[in-house]
Structures are given as structure tokens and as C-alpha cells.
Structure 1
Amino acid sequence: MSEEERIAFLRKELHRHNYLYYVKNSPEIDDETFDRFMHELQELEARHTDLFDANSPTQRVGSDLNHDFKQVAHRYPMLSLGNTYNRGEVAEFYNRVSTSLNGEPFEICCELKFDGLSISLWYEKGQLIRGVTRGDGIQGDDVTDNVRTIQSIPLQLSHDVNYPEEFEIRGEILMPWMSFEALNEERAKNEEPLFANPRNAASGTLKSKNSRTVAKRKLDAYLYYLLGPEIPTTSHYANMKMAAEWGFKVSKHTKLAHSLEEIYDFIDYWDIERKNLPVATDGIVLKVDSLKQQQQLGFTAKSPRWAIAYKFRAEKARTKLTEVTYQVGRTGAVTPVAVMEPVQLAGTIVKRASLHNADIISKLDLHIGDYVYVEKAGEIIPQIVDVDKSARTSDLGQKVCFAATCPECGTTLVRYEGEAAYYCPNDTACPPQLKGKIEHYISRDAMNIDSLGPETIDDYFERGLIRTVADLYKLTISDLAGADKGRLISAQKIIGAIEKSKQQPFERVLFALGIRFVGKVVAQTIARHFNNINSIESATLEDMLQVEGIGPVIAQSVVAWFKESRNKETIERLQSNGVQMAIKKRESLGEELKGKTIVISGTFSTHSREEYKTIIENHGGKNASSISKNTAFVLMGEKMGASKRQKAETLNIPLITEEEFLKIIRKNP
């Protein structure tokens, strides 16, 4: 894989994991792995400045936006913190601050890093006006009604204390360990999926549409930063002490450090003592105490230069390995899972842990009956990290060897060159793969059949109603309503949603087919190059390589997919059922932008960004996501990204306002 391909891969993966973590609350990887990917991408992008993309994960804050809530802009951007697991990097941060302040004395405020959901609370005249989640850092979800149910958040400050006329206070919404364990016990009794950790439980609860549910789950909140036009003092530490006097729940375990040694002492103490706290913590936050010095140090595009988070290494526990099972995913990838004797770890009982792939199993030299060390990196997903070989006895079980056949269908597994995982190649009959392809097809970014979900797909599959995506279009209301018509309303809704999906544009259809390596952007590129499914089906490898941005790996995957007879049959069935198999001819409104590549940045008042993309194409232009020397101009809206503006100025690319653009295409603003 070239460095260019690696950059594209990392960007895609980090966007996906951001979505899983902040929106779905179901992370697949731990924090340390995510941070390692992010650092690798930062290094690669530094070496390939020509591949700059303002939408890269390195240029943004992870998003937790939920569009069921009203979006509210933050008065002050809510940035994320740079973080480290390394004491050496803490020293680098400390020395960097000292150098930037030209040797001027400074203090570091040491705080516990609570593991919850970031919240911004706005107060006016002592009353809570609004509670907003961090979102993408620029705007977040208005969850005021839910915030009001949290007992530790004051709705009205006492008139006996002197506080500013208006201010913002930020903190973390948490679910205490006791509430978390009680909630999971209740969900277990009801046979509902358990929450992985208190952070996910808190996030899922705060995003609930029912405020009664929020109140019932007994969330908590710790506040840690004060902003506003008239902040009481220039000391962050002093401000938070005052906030505590006003009635806010502020951690008592905050300390001012005057040296690196004092910072290390704070870290060492809480690395052990945190296990006795009633809430989850995953590290220490270090902030320059003086607000004037904070302002002097400033910000990067993503985080403040005056603060850093030191994350604790994951807690480990020792237990016995009893079995290794295997799970099959949508792509056929087979993942090994360790089954162990239950053990307490980071506040929860752990019985299963990821083994990742065959190489990890081989490296660990695992045997059934081994005593293994398990950790929750980032306190999320348990994984086996080591084996206590000194505890082995003569009755040790057999060596763990990766499965040779698929646990679901019995097909011999294969390992492709350059891949760490083993795959089941039987994508025509292996149940998890068949169901996974259908789940991908109905997903929001694909055909958006939102009345269906994984459980419903599983039910239809087990009943023999569907085996491929094309089978969705042969379903009838009578198939789904039941003999007694007890599910008539839901059946009508599902059939209606399936029928509506026939109007999804061809670009989405191509993505929905689930061709390996073909994501949303690639599907759009290929669809717009070939215009229809027949042209793609008849395209040779050489034809595919002529598509801008399509490399050998993607090209080979697409050509191979369309050669398979079963895939051709699926296409024919979808086409016969009225699914869009060609680009709808766009109305040509002129050629004012013919041959011009245009980048859109910022927000607009007359049209949305998507509408402007269509307008550009209808006038002969081409849209691009990143600025290069080939960019004709940037359509500049409000809140244009600073990094994108800098890139345009460096390359002398014109910045055109919305009004100027509309004049260019002869349309009154």
C-alpha cells in the first residue's frame, strides 16, 4: 500500500471510528489505537502537503451530533484536547509552555479527566438557559430538557452569591458506577443489550428523547471550565473554586502544580486512587492556570496549546482462558474471541475478549487453560495482552490454532496477500455475510430503508423470506403482517420504505451493492464516469483505471465483482424492480463554469452546500473537496475553515463570496 493509499485508508477509518464513538456510542477500537492511527495520519500528511484536505480527521473535532435534536452554535468553539500516554510527552508539553512564555513563571492546574459526555451550560442571571453537547466543536445538540433532570446541575443559582450576569460553564455528564451497574442489571433482566461502559451509558441516556428516562438513570455532572465576557479572575483554578461556591459540582481533587515533579506526583497518586472513585476516570488533564497565559499560548486548529490530557494505561486482570470462538462479519472477515472465567476489570465483569487475528494468537502462544492477562485499553474493549506462562501445568489444554474453516458454513478460510485477517470466501451462502450485505444495502448512507433493522433482517432471513438484497423487492404486506394481521401497520410502513428506495440515485445504489473497497465517494466517482450500470459491467480493468482517483486495487475489485454471475443476476433483478441503474440526466443551465474545479467552504444563506454542488455541476463545473493548484476558485461562505483559507492564500486561489458566485452564473442572489 502506497503512502497516498494509506492516507486515504486512515482518513476513512478514523471518520468511521469517530462516528461509532460519538454518534453510535459503540466503539470498535480503544483510545490508544485510535490515537496511534491519528498520529500516523498526521505524520503522513506532513510529508504529503499536496494531499491536504480540510475534511481530514486531523483537521476537525470528532462529532457526536444527533439530528433528532436542534443544533445550536457554540459562542466559544468547544475543542478537544491533545493527549498522550507517555510521561516524556508530558515533559515536552511542560517545556514547550515554558519556552513559549519566554521563561515567565506559570502554574499548571492538575485535574481528573472524567470519562463521560462533554457539555456546555449557559447561565443568565443565575438561571440555566441552555445545555448543549460538544457536537463538532462549532455546534452541538440542544439537550436542555434532559440536562434539567440531572440533580447535580443547578437550575437556579442562589441569590446570596455574586456571579456574572451571564457565563458558560463546561463539564462532563457522567453515569456513576452504581447507576451503571443497576442499569445493566435491569437491561439484562429485560434481555436488552448491555452498555459497554459508563461513558456509553451516559451518552446514550443524555441523547434519549424521553426526559423521564434520563431522570430515572441518575446521571451526574462535574464542571471544569468557566467562560464568558466577565469572568471573575484570571486564574482558572480560582474561577472553579468560585463556581463551586455558586453551587456547581466541581471536583475537590484539583491541584496547582509548580513543577514537573509535582505533576508526576499527581499522576502517580491518581493512577491508583482513581479506582476508589464513584465515577469513571481515564486520565489527568493539565491546564496552564493563568487565563492571560492561555490566551498568549493560543490554539491549534483542533486543540488548545495550553492544555493536554495524560491518559492512564489500561487496568489489567488475570483470569483463565476456557475457549476460543469465531465470529464472521459482513465482508467474510473471521474474528477470534476469547472466552474466559469471569473477572472484574475497570468496574465491570469481563467474560469475553478480542484476540484480533491469527498473528496475535500465534504471538501469544495461547493454550486452552492458560492464565491470561486482560486489559481494557481506553476502558472499552477487553483484549488479551499477555500469558502467564509460569502458571502452566502438565494438564494444560491444546494449543490454540486459528480456525481452518468457517464456523458458520464450513467453507475453508483464505488469507489474502497483505491482509491480517482470514476470510470466508463463501459470500453466496454464508449466513452472516448474506445478512450483512442486506444490512449494508438498507443503511442510511446506502438505500436508507429506515423501517428495517438488523433484528428484522435476521427474522426475515431465518423465515426464508430473503437471501439477497433483490429479495427485498418481492416482499409483500401479507408476508410481513402475520396470519392475524397483527403487524399490519408496520408491514405497510416497511413495504412503503422499500418502494421509496427505488428512487434513490444511482450513486447510492452502486455504494449499496457492497462491492469491496467501494465507499460512498468511490461509488459516486465511478457512477458519474460511466453513467449507468451496463457501462460499468462491461468495463475492462484498463477502462476502470482511466477513472480519476481509482487505483489498481479498487479497479480489480469492481471488475471482478461484475464478472460473478450471481452479482449479474442481482443487478438484473434490481433493475427489473425499478431500482435506479443510471445517472439521471442533469439539466444543463449553462457553461459558465465549464472546465473549472471549485471547492466549497463555509456556510451559506441562499443555498445549502449540496445545492451549490448541484448548481456547479449544472453549469459545467466540477466539485472538489480539497484545494490544489488546479482549483479555479473557492466558493467562500461564513465560518470558512482557517486551514483551508491559508491553503488558498498560499496557492493564490481566488476566494469568491456567495453573492459574487451567483452573479457569475447569472442568477440573482
Structure 2
Amino acid sequence: MDVLQQIKALRDELNQHNYNYYVLDNPTISDFEFDTKLKQLQDLESKHPEYFDENSPTQRVGGAITKNFETIVHENRMYSLDNSYSKEDLLDWEVRAQKILGNVPLSYVCELKYDGASINITYENGKLKRAVTRGDGFQGDDVTNNIKTIKAVPIQLKGDFPNKFDIRGEIILPFAGFEKMNQELIEIGETPYANPRNTASGSLKLQDSAEVAKRPLDCLLYSLVGTNLPFSSHFKGLERARQWGFKVPVQSKLANSMDEVFEFIEYWDKHRHDLPYETDGVVIKVNDLHHQEELGYTAKSPRWAIAYKFKAEQVSTILNSISYQVGRTGAITPVANLEPVQLAGTVVKRASLHNADQIEKLDIRIGDEVFVEKGGEIIPKIIGVDLSKRHSDSVITEYITHCPECHAHLERKEGEANHYCPNFYGCPPQIIGRIQHYITRKAMDIEGLGGETVALLFNNGLVTNYADLYELKKEQVVVLERMADKSAENLINGIEKSKEIKFDRVLYALGIRYVGETVAKKLAKHYKSIDAIATASLENLITVDEIGEKIAQSVIEFFQNEENRIIIERLRNYGVQLELVEEESTSVSDKLSGKIFVVSGVFEKFSRDELKKAIEDNGGKVGSSISAKTNYVVAGDNMGPAKLEKANQLGIAIISEIDFEALINDN
């Protein structure tokens, strides 16, 4: 056997042993034998560098250093899931799905909801090509070198797999590994990690992959994404993924009714503590992939999947005091300061009290023993008071009437739950908060500038709004506390680079109330420039997809404010992008301009995505559901009966893919 054959044989054998140990949990050789074979392969590769392979088992030990993690746009967006907390929520979800699909029989896949860091891994020709974190769902960080160190992630697939696809899952840290890591830290006098989830997530962003390799991370995979995948249902996809070498949890189950879904939930609600890792609920997915396509997505979530959250862990502790925080919009949030207590793997010292109504409803008083819960929210919340332990001299909590920071008299608009500080341009936390929002990753992504530094700049009189950032000089910031020469240089460079950020993110960065990422994208795409948005009427704004009267009114109020208009002019003069720069336009024609299409069914000549792209390339718009505004339904085989019925009721033209082709070709 020549050297190359020896190397290939050792790689195949070691890959199989990794699979047996980390995926099947069924090792067939000892650790010593494995290490001996790995050393043998390392020696051969060292003597013959011409046979280097980035996917060799020897590369799993890490060693690559990543100074800056490249931002990668997801080919297919990673949506978040809607949450449910009761059987009634799930039954309502089923009714909504059936309404769209037309009361067809449905089966579901039940999966445990793992508490880790989401990951998207791309495979090409059976080899691991790239691994990207979820990020904001639209883009994430390239952490390929770090993911390759996780033994449960196959570097080379087995069997008959598609040429290219993505697989998604969760990077987790099992309890045993987490406890071992913490024990080692305690022994050397270091602070232990807070919880497995945050530690797993933080591990993915370590610059030295050799350090990641030392951590006992695991990867549980649960979703395949791609075109022309060789299966028709989600459950069959999971089975095929196992055959290709992926660690797909065996707990996943096919349920033929909602009653079977409830049985799965009830079983794991009792037995989840037997698992070796954290889980906080169950994910239920419509099994049939065609049905998934028919159901589609809302702005944030798939309509074909939902998360059921287990009842949150609850503890009791003493409420020591209540403080009030001022947000960037002026909203006042009361915060409970608690006697520290252990809850869901972390020490809790503070909890949200939401608003004045909540305090009054629960009759929360300082000195009370309160029940604290950590459910779907990151911040724990108080859900009740143990009245049997209340002191006789306790005093009813009076909500504050003035801003705790600037002392302006608080306002509460009719229909609003929160009190607001009206001193929008003079209240320090609001000013700092708006600038902090402006620099965030999802907004202007200014490298070298963090929240604490923004506060430092404001407190030293260097900035009073986000436009002031563009006038900062290195010599002004280098003298600030904890600001070294290199840090100051990075900050100024980061501000300069932010001028390249696209218009939709600039619009989000401005901090207009109710204008989140999705709304900013819709407005930017529709109006193309800040000037067009600034002059749009209320009636015009609410014609934009997903823009209601509340959002439209907030946009108008923002641009009516003279100080905002001055700031925007300054941003324009500094070179910030205030117009949509069309990237490589795929526009073919405007033949479909002003027409709204809904695509439904399975097609022969086109994939659904190709049809949607062709509609947009020819100036049309793709709608997610049929309404009176829909002009055409492009129908394929197995079109949802509910959509067919609705289209007929509204008198909407139903055309085939051949008709559509003729439409864009003017035949």
C-alpha cells in the first residue's frame, strides 16, 4: 500500500471511530488505540504535506486562529419560532394551519427544543464546507474552524447524499462537561461559567480553535434545507441525515394527531431532567414538506412549526427594593432588586416588574416574599407574592411620577401600558440608549465602539447624538479612561467604515419607534430613500406591506421633529447611506409591475423559488397569502384547497406555470 492509500485508509477508519463514539455512543476501540492511530496519521501527513486535507481527522484538534469572524449572509434565512405555553395554543396553531391547507390530514414531527447555540452547516459533495452562526437570522459569523473541532459533526458524509445542502442544529454543552469545566476553574480560583447555553455560545467565538477543541461541545442536528432534497417529509429527512452520519436525536417522534403530540409533551415534561443536556420545550413541525411550503412564513417565523415551552422553573425570594430604568424610547421599566437566588442554572438578583399595572395587579411591596420565574424571557419575572409571609407594616408601592434621571414629569398615553419620560432630547439614558442602538451589530455595526464607551463619550461631552460620532477625532478619545492608542484608532476606523452600511440598516439604526429590522427593510425597499419616507403621507405609508397606522404615525412624528431632520442632514453630509443602492440588479423587465402573485403547489418546469424570483425580476410582487389585492395565483399540482377556494371566491385569475411563462414572454 502506497503512502496516499495508507493516509486515506487511516482517515476513513478514524472518521468511522469518531462516528461510533460521538454519534452512536458505541466505541469499538479504546481511547489509547484511537490516539495511536491518530498519531500515526499525523506523522504521515507531516512527512507528506502534499497530501494535506483540511477535512482530515487530524484537523479536529484545532490550531487555526481567527482574529475576526467573517460575516456571511445565509442563503436561506434562519427564522425564529413562535412560542406556545398551553395545549390551547397548539390547537389554535393547528386550526390556522388547516385553514390555509383546507382541512387535509396532518402528521407532525415532535422534537426536543435544545438550549444551545444555533448553527447552519453547509455541505458540498459530502464535505463540510462552512459553518455559520444564526446571527440575526439574515447573516451570521463564519465559525467553520471551531465547528470542525466538534467530533459529533461529520467532516465527510457517508452514503448517497445531495451535492449541496444545509443542515441546522444546536451546539450544546452537556451537563457533565459543563460541571467538569467549572470544577477545573474553581480549583484554580477562577470564576465558574454561569450556564451551559452561554458557555456553548461563547465557545464558538473563541479565536483559537485549539481552545474550542478542549471543550466537550456536542452538536444535535434537526433540519435539512436545500433544493430537490431526496425525501418528501421532515421525518424521512431526519432518518436520511442519520444515514449520512449526522447526530440526529433519537427522541424525535412522528405524531399522527395532536393527541399524540400532547403525549410526547407530557412524557418529556416529566423526563427532561433525565437528559444529559438542557432542554426547555418541544418543537412541533408539520411533517409533509409540501404542506410546509404551502404554509410558508410570517415576517419572523415559519407557519409550519411552533415551540411549546415547558412550564418555567419557579423559586421564591425577598424583594429588597424597586428601581426604575429609562429606555432609549423614554419607556420606564420598573426592576425588582432581589435577595440573590439560584434559578434555572443562574443566580438571579433582578427581575422585571413590567409596568405600573403589573405592580398594582400583584400588589407587590418591598419586603415581600415573591415567586420568580424564568420562562420564555431572558430576564426573570415576578409572577406572584406569598401573602402569608407579608409583614403587617408593609407599605403599598406607589409608582414614581417623575423620571429618575432627568426628573421630567412622566406621561402615560391612553392605551399604553408604560409610563414615558417626554424629555426625549435632554434625558441622558435616552440619548445614550439611542446612540447605543445606532452602533449595534444589526444596525451600523461600529467595530471598536461598545455601550460602555458610548456612555463614556456622552459623559465627557463628546457626543449628544449619533451624528456627533462622525466628528470624533482620535486625539479626543485616546485620553479617555481605558482607551489605549490602538483602541482609539479602531473606534475611529469603525465609525468611518459604518458609512458603507446599507440604507435599510441605517433606517433601523435611527431608532424610530416601532421600526424594527423587518419594517425598516420593507420601508427601504418600497421608498428607496430617506427623503421619500420623510415626505410620505399616513395614507401612503399604510399601503406598504405590514405597515399599520401605529407604525406609520410614529414614522411621520419622527420626521416632523426638526432636530431629527437636522441630524439626518448631518448624516447625509458625512456620507452615511440614505438611499437604497441596488445591488447587482437581476431585473429583466417591468412587465409585471404593480401585479401581486401568490405561488401555490408543486411545479415541473420551475421550483417555487425560481418562480418567485422570476416574478420579482419582472417587476411583480410575491404575496404570502391570497387577498383582494392579489392579481394572479400561479398554481401547480396539489395546490392547497383552501387557497383554491379563496381565489375562486375573490375572482382571482388562476394560471399555470406555462401561462406564467407566456405572461413574461409576452406570448
TM beyond 0.5: yes
Gaps of 5+ in 1: 1-65, 158-162, 289-293, 665-669
Q: Of 335, 339, 348, which residue of structure 2 is paired with 1:337?
A: 335
Relative to 1, partners in 2 of residues 1:651 and 1:456: Cα closer, same or farther, differing over 3 Å?
farther
Q: Of 426, 432, 435, which residue of structure 2 is paired with 1:435?
A: 432
Q: Of 354, 357, 380, which residue of structure 1 is paired with 2:355?
A: 357
Partner deviation per Cα, 1:314-339 (whole Å, 9 max, x = no partner): 12111111111122111111111111
Q: Of 404, 413, 436, which residue of structure 1 is paired with 2:410?
A: 413
Relative to 1, partners in 2 of residues 1:223 and 1:632: Cα closer, same or farther, differing over 3 Å?
closer
Q: Of 367, 392, 395, which residue of structure 1 is paired with 2:390?
A: 392
Relative to 1, partners in 2 of residues 1:490 and 1:658: Cα closer, same or farther, differing over 3 Å?
farther
Structure 2 counterpart of 1:146:
146
Relative to 1, partners in 2 of residues 1:205 and 1:69: Cα closer, same or farther, differing over 3 Å?
farther
Alpha-carbon distance between aligned partners in 1 of 2:131 and 2:262, rounded to the nearest angstrom: 34
SS of 2:380 mapped into structure 1: strand
Partner deviation per Cα, 1:424-458 (whole Å, 9 max, x = no partner): 11122211111122233445665554453323322
Alpha-carbon distance between aligned partners in 2 of 1:626 and 1:111, rounded to the nearest angstrom: 27
Q: 8 Å contact 2:525–2:580 — kept in the other structure?
A: no
Structure 1 counterpart of 2:213:
215
Alpha-carbon distance between aligned partners in 2 of 1:595 and 1:262, rounded to the nearest angstrom: 46
Alpha-carbon distance between aligned partners in 2 of 1:447 and 1:94, rounded to the nearest angstrom: 39
Deviation of 1:411 (Å): 1.8
* Equivalenced residues, count: 555
Relative to 1, partners in 2 of residues 1:651 and 1:365: Cα closer, same or farther, differing over 3 Å?
farther
Deviation of 1:310 (Å): 4.8
Deviation of 1:393 (Å): 2.8
Alpha-carbon distance between aligned partners in 2 of 1:435 and 1:375, rounded to the nearest angstrom: 30
Letter in 2 for 1:352: R
Structure 2 counterpart of 1:174:
172
Letter in 1 for 2:416: E
Moved more, 135-144 or 167-176: 135-144
Structure 1 counterpart of 2:203:
205
**Root-mean-square deviation (CA), in Å?**
6.4
Q: 8 Å contact 1:72–1:132 — kept in the other structure?
A: no
Deviation of 1:371 (Å): 1.2
Q: 8 Å contact 2:596–2:629 — kept in the other structure?
A: no
Relative to 1, partners in 2 of residues 1:313 and 1:477: Cα closer, same or farther, differing over 3 Å?
same
SS of 1:597 mapped into structure 2: coil
Alpha-carbon distance between aligned partners in 2 of 1:491 and 1:241, rounded to the nearest angstrom: 48
Q: Of 497, 513, 518, which residue of structure 2 is paired with 1:516?
A: 513
Structure 1 counterpart of 2:320:
322
Q: Of 46, 67, 70, which residue of structure 2 is paired with 1:68?
A: 70
Structure 2 counterpart of 1:457:
454
Relative to 1, partners in 2 of residues 1:271 and 1:656: Cα closer, same or farther, differing over 3 Å?
same
Alpha-carbon distance between aligned partners in 1 of 2:112 and 2:402, rounded to the nearest angstrom: 48
SS of 2:429 mapped into structure 1: helix
Alpha-carbon distance between aligned partners in 2 of 1:225 and 1:179, rounded to the nearest angstrom: 25
Partner deviation per Cα, 1:524-582 (whole Å, 9 max, x = no partner): 4896689479xx5xx6x9x6555555876556545554555544554565566566778
Structure 2 counterpart of 1:115:
115
Structure 2 counterpart of 1:495:
492
SS of 1:407 mapped into structure 2: coil
Deviation of 1:480 (Å): 2.4
Relative to 1, partners in 2 of residues 1:480 and 1:361: Cα closer, same or farther, differing over 3 Å?
same
Alpha-carbon distance between aligned partners in 2 of 1:87 and 1:375, rounded to the nearest angstrom: 20
Alpha-carbon distance between aligned partners in 1 of 2:208 and 2:387, rounded to the nearest angstrom: 51
Moved more, 547-556 or 325-334: 547-556
Alpha-carbon distance between aligned partners in 1 of 2:79 and 2:443, rounded to the nearest angstrom: 31
Query: Matched residues, percent identical?
Result: 42
Alpha-carbon distance between aligned partners in 1 of 2:555 and 2:237, rounded to the nearest angstrom: 58
SS of 1:381 mapped into structure 2: coil
Q: 8 Å contact 2:401–2:409 — kept in the other structure?
A: yes
Alpha-carbon distance between aligned partners in 1 of 2:152 and 2:202, rounded to the nearest angstrom: 19
Deviation of 1:364 (Å): 0.6
SS of 2:333 mapped into structure 1: strand
Letter in 1 for 2:376: G
Alpha-carbon distance between aligned partners in 2 of 1:205 and 1:197, rounded to the nearest angstrom: 12
Alpha-carbon distance between aligned partners in 2 of 1:360 and 1:137, rounded to the nearest angstrom: 32
Alpha-carbon distance between aligned partners in 1 of 2:140 and 2:458, rounded to the nearest angstrom: 39
Map residues 39-118 of structure 1 onto 2, 5 A cutoff.
68=70, 84-87=84-87, 112-117=112-117
Alpha-carbon distance between aligned partners in 2 of 1:496 and 1:117, rounded to the nearest angstrom: 30
Partner deviation per Cα, 1:225-250 (whole Å, 9 max, x = no partner): 8999999xx99899699979x89685
Relative to 1, partners in 2 of residues 1:153 and 1:576: Cα closer, same or farther, differing over 3 Å?
closer
Alpha-carbon distance between aligned partners in 2 of 1:553 and 1:94, rounded to the nearest angstrom: 30
Alpha-carbon distance between aligned partners in 2 of 1:404 and 1:371, rounded to the nearest angstrom: 26
Relative to 1, partners in 2 of residues 1:651 and 1:175: Cα closer, same or farther, differing over 3 Å?
farther
Alpha-carbon distance between aligned partners in 2 of 1:88 and 1:551, rounded to the nearest angstrom: 28
Moved more, 624-633 or 382-391: 624-633
Deviation of 1:206 (Å): 3.4
Relative to 1, partners in 2 of residues 1:624 and 1:418: Cα closer, same or farther, differing over 3 Å?
farther
TM-score by length of 1: 0.61
Alpha-carbon distance between aligned partners in 2 of 1:427 and 1:526, rounded to the nearest angstrom: 29
Relative to 1, partners in 2 of residues 1:341 and 1:181: Cα closer, same or farther, differing over 3 Å?
farther
Q: 8 Å contact 1:532–1:581 — kept in the other structure?
A: no
SS of 1:351 mapped into structure 2: strand
Structure 2 counterpart of 1:22:
none
Alpha-carbon distance between aligned partners in 2 of 1:67 and 1:642, rounded to the nearest angstrom: 43
TM-score by length of 2: 0.61
